[in-house]
Structure 1
Amino acid sequence: MYKNGETYHNFYGKINENQGKPNDSTHFEIASISKVFAGSLVAKAVIERKIRLDDDIRSFLKGEYPNLEFEGIPITIKNLLTHTLGFKERRPPKLDKIWNDVSEGKYEVKPIEYSIDEFLDELKTVELDKKPGTFYTYNSVGSELIAYILEQVYKDSFENILESFLKSLEMNDTYLEGCREESRFLITGYNDKGNQAPKTRKILLGAGGAMISTLPDLIKFMKFQLESEDPLIKESTKELYSDREGDKTDYLWDVDLAEEEGFYYKKTGTSDGVQSVLLICPDTNYGLILIVNNTSEKAFYDWANLYDRIESDLIKFPQINLVSTLKKDFIKETDKAIANYKSEVLNSSKYFSKARDLNIIGYQLLNENRVDDAIKVFELMVSEFPENPYVYDSLGKGYFENKNYKKALVNYEKSFASDATNTNAKDYILRIRKLLE
């Protein structure tokens, strides 16, 4: 975590049954977070006027590629950076098979028999079915093409270009898979079946997801984003594309503007055994890195909730999340926790509270069949956040589980009256009215 110039980091759990906690020397797969490093290199090239965002990518490819356009619109550098290539299929067929075989562990001990030249030949067979720049389809092909184009621009290998950039940031323990012996320190990852997951492999040039790093090195990159005046940061975080849902993309980052965070950008990465996220909030001067070496559904749920909780707390820091502080008491002694909450919540200089956190505790109590205690927490939530329509939805659920259908109906109706898009409340209202007939 980064907040106002200070960094904090820690490790929890254990690597596997035989090893303890990870540490500063542990190497992690960072998967698609690799892409933003390639994006930074393109931003640098744009600033140096070696590349323009509107350049037709065919001007950097050897040979003829008449297929890499749709209705006269060619694929540009900008399209590679925003996942808007217009491909009919996500990847060419042979590359797709290699990608899937790597995920199944078929290349754990043997080299990948697929070269960049084979990829470029296969690229001549790709079909476009939409105009480039009009539809977002996440892929790693664009990143690999970016790496190849950078090689043509700088007349050097992508590995060397990347390493030079990493050295400028003193990220000495970050590298492409297969390029260093240090990969023996790579953490064990586990898949959704609880088995050891196949390791990351560099299929082409590695820009799409083959980088390995340590937590201290990623912290250096986070601090660079938040503290440096390097013009490539401003360039690499320009909004380049916005889809119909309003999701925005720049140089392979996901960007947006939030009410409390202000402007922020982030990137997630998921390999077969590791989940990671890097969040940068320059307007509010904080950042977050979170890595878990497990990709099971339960681990993903924990990872996502932990990310949401930490990010929420960082916005308010140095204020402390009161609900988190009292969580154990809420579960063990609900009445005592509610009393303590009411006495401390008025101290706004020290504590803050959110309806979402109380809601999570209430539903945990419901799941443990402690319906009366859950109702007490939901009632507290309603008294604290009466303008939030969803607190009435939760209280309605509590009363419903307690078979107090009249009170459940009243609360669901309040929720639906405040938010007519709440289909859950609407469904329960119809259900309860039938029960009360």
Structure 2
Amino acid sequence: MKNILLCLISFIIISCQTPKSEKKENINSQSDFTKQERFIDNYANETLKKGNVNSISLAVYKNGETYHNYYGKIKENLGKPNDNTHFEIASISKVFAGSLVAKAVIERKIQLDDDIRNFLKGDYPNLEFEGTPITIKNLLTHTLGFKERRPPKLDKIWKDISEGKYENNSIEYSVDEFLEELKTVELDKKPGTFYTYNSVGSELLAYILEQVYNDSFENILESFLKSLDMNDTYLEGCREESKFLITGYNEKGIQAPKTRNILLGAGGAMISTLPDLVKFMKFQLESEDPLIKESTKELYLDREGDKTGYLWDVDSAEEEGFYYKKTGTSDGVQSVILICPDANYGLILIVNNTSEKAFYDWATLYDRIESDLIKFPRMNLVSTLKNDFIEKTDKAIATYKSEIMNSSTYYAKARDLNVIGYQLIRENRVEDAIKVFELMTSEFSDNPYVYDSLGEGYFKNENYKKALENYEKSFALDSTNTNAKEYISRIRKILE
């Protein structure tokens, strides 16, 4: 599956509850899934040890069973997140608007090819390019054709929010002002031909929904949320600010400003809890509601092969089958929701840090958990044997070679062996690390980076000829591996 990237949030939580998990008895093996939960807990705790992420909130779904948990501390003595914690879900808000648009399409309130000017009051001759107007589909797929992402005043307010200028000040910018600014925007490309991510489209969709339903977007959204029993999900500014709104931290590690609802909120102003997001995930995977199929169908394919549905990112992969996802990024929180209906699993992952390192750790954790969910009920053999790899390396390697033959029960990934190898290096057990890296190269011989790791092991062990041999293998498989190239040059000078 393609890499995913993300984000969202801001304020605070103090209370602490025992982590909960929901259980159903229709999974293939209860004991196996309990073991999988322990793997997930270990992955999360290993991520926290890197020191770039303060807290992690996650939930998984597989074959009708759900598990959710919380890790770390929001900051220092603030405690860990819990079921009462409120998160800004940023751009994940968009897929709720997309669902409402899908419902309106099914109800024949609107059509995807409708000119959006049919729903706007006043004249907007500028909202077309060479005779091609902006349509509902263009709003859903970020293909408006705007020369600039946002009108100038709206853009300035957006940036001012990120700088904290509206922490204690109200935003003096109305929907009417936005519509007036909309008359000044310039299109420099045909709508439907270029993908440019923005929040203007979703805000316009919210306004159009108000027109066709003759009701406020807040009421339309709240009705949908109530139908899903999502009672702790709402638009920022539409309820008194929760004392449980989590504090997020930015690139500099300082408290990030809170998200503010500039217009109608469809672009990124929703707040939710993890249990409520689990309900939304289960709805996507278990309900027969036709809006799910409608909202996740492919509407646009860009030049890089990325596909978009009703504000969802949609695609398919060999193991996952069809899947769709959405990430959210506020100034202080990163989040993602993944839905894989063909493989019957889902994942939600939220951290309250947005530094580059935190983002990398968040994405890596996402990938580790998602990889296990794809394979389940097959188990990650390296995770199963992790303690033995660390404490009794030779025994673990022998067990691995024996058990990996049972492909119906176990699977393994090079990355997991690599993690163990580098842990052994950090513990100054280089010879054991080399044994693990050698196992990795024998199991994943087509992967250039396994030879890079083995090369490093031999280099640290001052076996420069073996190190050179493996770095050369790595570079032969991937000529873009600059690390291998640098070590090859360095070792050759040592061997001269």
TM-score, length of structure 1 as denominator length: 0.92
2-structure distance, mates of 1:431, 1:411: 14
1:15 is matched with which residue?
Answer: 74
Higher relative contact order (CA 8 A, sep 6+): 2
In the alignment, does 2:294 pair up with 1:240? no
1:343 CA drift (Å): 4.6
318-327 or 60-69: bigger deviation: 318-327
Match of 2:185 among 126, 137, 151: 126
1-structure distance, mates of 2:374, 2:119: 44
The 8 Å contact of residues 177 and 183 in structure 1, kept in 2 or not, is answered as: no
The 8 Å contact of residues 273 and 294 in structure 1, kept in 2 or not, is answered as: yes
2:328 is matched with which residue?
Answer: 269
1-structure distance, mates of 2:283, 2:276: 11
2:62 is matched with which residue?
Answer: 3
Amino acid at match of 1:327: K
1:327 is matched with which residue?
Answer: 386
In the alignment, does 2:406 pair up with 1:313? no
Amino acid at match of 1:54: D
1:165 is matched with which residue?
Answer: 224
300-309 or 208-217: bigger deviation: 300-309
1:65 CA drift (Å): 1.5
From the superposition, tell whether residues 162 and 381 of structure 1 become closer, same or farther in structure 2 (CA, over 3 Å): same
Q: Give runs of aligned pairs for residues 279-358 of structure 1, distance below 5 A.
A: 279-331=338-390, 334-358=393-417
From the superposition, tell whether residues 391 and 15 of structure 1 become closer, same or farther in structure 2 (CA, over 3 Å): closer
From the superposition, tell whether residues 152 and 398 of structure 1 become closer, same or farther in structure 2 (CA, over 3 Å): same
Amino acid at match of 2:91: S
Match of 2:141 among 74, 77, 82: 82
369-378 or 237-246: bigger deviation: 369-378
Please give the secondary structure, in 2, of the residue aligned with 1:198: coil
Match of 1:224 among 264, 268, 283: 283
401-410 or 102-111: bigger deviation: 401-410
RMSD (Å) for aligned C-alpha atoms: 2.4
1:259 is matched with which residue?
Answer: 318
From the superposition, tell whether residues 84 and 427 of structure 1 become closer, same or farther in structure 2 (CA, over 3 Å): farther
2-structure distance, mates of 1:76, 1:15: 42
TM-score, length of structure 2 as denominator length: 0.82
1:192 is matched with which residue?
Answer: 251
Q: Give runs of aligned pairs for residues 28-43 of structure 1, distance below 5 A.
A: 28-43=87-102
Please give the secondary structure, in 1, of the residue aligned with 2:68: coil
1:339 CA drift (Å): 4.0
1:277 CA drift (Å): 0.6
Q: Which runs of 5 or more residues in structure 2 are unaligned?
A: 1-59
2-structure distance, mates of 1:285, 1:25: 27
Amino acid at match of 2:78: Q
Number of aligned residues: 437
From the superposition, tell whether residues 325 and 79 of structure 1 become closer, same or farther in structure 2 (CA, over 3 Å): same
1-structure distance, mates of 2:484, 2:116: 51
Please give the secondary structure, in 2, of the residue aligned with 1:185: coil
1-structure distance, mates of 2:276, 2:406: 38
2:170 is matched with which residue?
Answer: 111
In the alignment, does 2:208 pair up with 1:208? no
From the superposition, tell whether residues 233 and 394 of structure 1 become closer, same or farther in structure 2 (CA, over 3 Å): same
2-structure distance, mates of 1:424, 1:248: 33
1:428 CA drift (Å): 5.8
Q: Which runs of 5 or more residues in structure 1 are unaligned?
A: none
1-structure distance, mates of 2:359, 2:493: 38
